Amino acid sequence: MSIHLSSERGSVRRVVVSCDAPGCPVQLEPSAIERWRSDTDALSFARTHAIGWTCDPAGQTDYCPEHADFSTALSGATPPRPTAAARDKAGNPLNRDAYAVLLRARLTEDAGSTTPALSAAQVAVTISLLEELAGVYRGEEMGRLATELSAQLARHVGKQTEPRA
């Protein structure tokens, strides 16, 4: 969700509600409210007037009616965590936890095969990307898988992993 002032003078405050589902372009602009309202009040007003939209207050995310199931519907329930790029045959994002399980299974299937050697620079970059992925998905199965693969690569090449800027 983002806040936009409608004019240079700022006579009214407009709020645009954007769906936070990966790749969803849907936006909604509820009616404008007074300029004096705080950002928190403006967000609350917009969420209240976004009919059919759902909000996950813990994650500060908003979802259009089509993606409403991505938000926490029940107290204590974990909402689906869609992948950013991986899709099923119908084009829908996969659940990240289920995708991590699929990737782990793929690793065990391919245990005996060999691949062409990577350069030291390619390995270092791959380790760095995996560490970044692990940081983004900290506490999730996808993050644990990235951490394990990063450590395996580092052990395989016999190098310490150090963050590079």
State the DSSP string of 3-53: EEESSSS--EEEEEEE--STT---EE-PPPEETTS-HHHHHHHHHHTSTT-
What is the residue whose two structure tokens read 């090449």?
Answer: 157
What is the pTM assigned to this prediction?
Answer: 0.50
Q: How far apart are CA 148 and CA 161, in angstroms?
A: 13
Q: How far apart are CA 121 and CA 112, in angstroms?
A: 25
Q: How far apart are CA 94 and CA 142, in angstroms?
A: 12
HSE-up of 70 (CA within 13 Å, CB side)?
A: 24
Q: What's residue 77's pLDDT?
A: 60
Q: What's residue 161's pLDDT?
A: 46
What lies within 8 Å, CB to CB, of 27 at 6+ separation is 16, 17, 18, 19
Please name the amino acid found at residue 77. A
Which residues of the chain carry a pLDDT beneath 70? 1-11, 57-59, 72-80, 111-113, 115, 159-165
Q: What's residue 81's pLDDT?
A: 80
Q: What's residue 108's pLDDT?
A: 84
